[in-house]
Amino acid sequence: MSTIVSRPNSSLVAAQMPDTFTRTEGRDLARLQNREVARGLIASTRVQAAGMVAATGLQITGMLSREATFQSNGDPQVAARLDHIVDCFAEYVGAEVARFRF
């Protein structure tokens, strides 16, 4: 695995590492920093993915709703059936977004 934060023997981390730390403690600090940075990257990627799924689902749900209105042509029974299909799709999109864990 590549390092996100430089190793303690580099000048960058040496400046960030307290003077009272031993070399082992410095390595542990760098390892823990890498873990937290990676955790943050994963969380932000999941948030972005959930946002993309939500935006796409919202757009498609709107398109389906408009098409359902057009296809029903004023018939209330057909409109009710098509609205049910649109509602099922909206629930599906909501379930997909809910599957993302942050």
**Burial (CB count within 10 angstroms: exposed 0-12, middle 13-18, buried 19+), residue 8:** buried
Contact 54, 95 (CB under 8 A): no
pTM of the model: 0.67
pLDDT on residue 8: 56
Residues recorded for the chain: 102
DSSP state, residue 14: H
Each residue's pLDDT, cut to its tens digit, for the chain (102 residues) gives 566 655 555 554 444 777 888 888 888 888 999 999 999 999 999 999 999 999 999 999 999 999 999 999 989 999 999 999 999 999 999 999 999 876
